Amino acid sequence: MKWEDVCQAFPDQWVLIEAIQAHTNEENERILDEIAPLKNFSNSPEAMKAYQEIHREDPNRELYVLYTNRKEPKIIEKKWVGVR
């Protein structure tokens, strides 16, 4: 699906999505070419809890929690610097 399709399917809701195909542009913005909605929520704490559970099981999945009233997802990548 595209972001516009998710917004139409789940208007004014929080959605947990997985990026199926994505890339980063020159401005470090993550462009989601193809996404899969995993679940929709009426509030962000529930959505974040579901995100944490899935991320704990498989941290390699590219997951996002977004609100569907956004015209575009607008996800900015930040580079980690330092020791973990």
What tens digit of pLDDT does each residue of 54-77 get?
A: 999 999 999 999 999 999 999 999
Position 1 pLDDT exceeds 80: yes
Task: Round to whole Å and give the CA distance between 34 and 17.
Answer: 10
pLDDT for 84 equals 62
Task: Round to whole Å and give the CA distance between 68 and 84.
Answer: 33
Q: What is the mean pLDDT of the chain?
A: 95
Instruction: Return phi, psi of residue 77, to 5°.
Output: -80, 140
